[in-house]
Amino acid sequence: MVDFLEKFKTKTENVSASTKPLVHRLIREILDVNLHLKKWSTKVNFVHLIPDMKDKYDKYWGDYAKMSDYVYFAILLDPTMKSQLLLYTFKEMIGSKDETLSKSEIELKAYEMLYEVERKIENFFKTYLEKYD
């Protein structure tokens, strides 16, 4: 049980730190928790715990539309991440949510989501330029 819960303690501490900017690391932490839940869902002693925890995870982080666009903008603006990490994130979110989709359907949907975020950040900058140019 300690091995299982240690990951959540560490991730909570990482995301909750107020002395350093973390928005660029948030998506990695979110994906790591999702992977952790998948890994432990196959363990016999944890089968009864995982569905409730996965529901909580999905409530806050498992849905593209529920996450703030600013999290995605931070990923796009971070020189170490860019579009490829965001595309990977979308693929993971889609694949976790709907396991009936094929790889090509997941990839197509992920590219559509990436395009939408890139369009939103472009509009954000255009609005900023119009207002403060």
pTM for the whole thing?
0.73
pLDDT tens, N- to C-terminus, the chain (133 residues): 888 888 888 887 777 766 666 666 777 888 888 888 888 888 888 888 888 888 888 777 777 777 778 888 888 888 877 888 889 888 988 887 777 899 999 999 999 999 999 999 999 999 999 998 7
User: Residues for the chain: how many in total?
Assistant: 133
Torsion of CA 40, 44, 49, 52, to 10 degrees: 80
What is the crossing angle of helices 103-132 and 69-77, to 10°? 90
